[in-house]
Structure 1
Amino acid sequence: PTVWLALLGFAVTGLGLANVFPVAVERAGALAGPRGVATASTLGYGGMLLGPPAIGFLADWYSLPAALTTVAVLAGLSALAAPLLGRTVSPEAGPANGPGG
């Protein structure tokens, strides 16, 4: 592969993944109201803040392949656990308790 083909692949991947976080935050708001938005935002931004240093430390202590394998395993476990956790909606998340309700 050439550099331009790799850059095109990154661009297409970025366009495809750019909407994941906003959709996840919106879904959290629909399921759990303002607390869901706060929780999803905190976890999302916390992951963006702490993820790169954690990968760097793992790569330094072990190796880069081990660090990236850890990320892949954690992502896979999250994907497998999501359907098993079920959906719980707090009572205060109803539309009557939202803004203007």
Structure 2
Amino acid sequence: MMLVLTIGEVTKAPIEQSYQAALPPEHARSSYVALGSLTYHVSSIIASLTVTMGAFFSSYVITGIVFVVGITGAIIFYFILPQLEERKKSHDTLMKNKGA
């Protein structure tokens, strides 16, 4: 299992950094990168809360909460991914035209 997670993290990081560098306007790039790193901290808070809630709720309730959070994230990602792809393509086209 850890091998699968490690491979996922290794492949996710460069793609995520590529999006963080390509999508924001030049003057706001550092703000976007800082906001992107906030996702790690928010996920740590959610993980800490579920551990704390484990003292009060059954494992089934905690599983349900984690499942709902995960599905919500997947749905949000599903809806924003086409817009991200479009913005990245337009940025790549712009950078090619600048270099040519």
- The size of the alignment, in residue pairs, is 82
Structure 1 residue runs of 5 or longer lacking an equivalent are 1-9, 96-101
Q: d(CA) in 2 for partners of 1:83 and 1:12?
A: 26
Matched, 1:24 2:16: yes
Q: d(CA) in 2 for partners of 1:21 and 1:73?
A: 24
Q: Percent identity between the aligned chains? A: 12
1:57-83, CA deviations, whole angstroms, 9 ceiling, x for partnerless residues?
Answer: 221221222112211211111111224
Q: Which residue of 2 aligns with 1:63?
A: 58
Q: Which residue of 2 aligns with 1:38?
A: 34
1:18-71, CA deviations, whole angstroms, 9 ceiling, x for partnerless residues?
Answer: 2224532331222122222111101223323x1332111221221222112211
Q: Tell me the TM-score normalised to structure 2 length.
A: 0.60
Which has a greater percent of helix?
2
4+ runs deviating over 4 angstroms: none
Structure 2 residue runs of 5 or longer lacking an equivalent are 88-93, 96-100
Root-mean-square deviation (CA, aligned residues, Å) is 2.8
- Do the aligned residues in 2 keep the contact of 1:59 with 1:67 (CA within 8 Å)? yes
- Do the aligned residues in 2 keep the contact of 1:58 with 1:67 (CA within 8 Å)? yes
Q: Which residue of 2 aligns with 1:53?
A: 48
1:5-26, CA deviations, whole angstroms, 9 ceiling, x for partnerless residues?
Answer: xxxxx23222222222453233
Q: d(CA) in 2 for partners of 1:12 and 1:44?
A: 20
Q: d(CA) in 2 for partners of 1:66 and 1:37?
A: 34
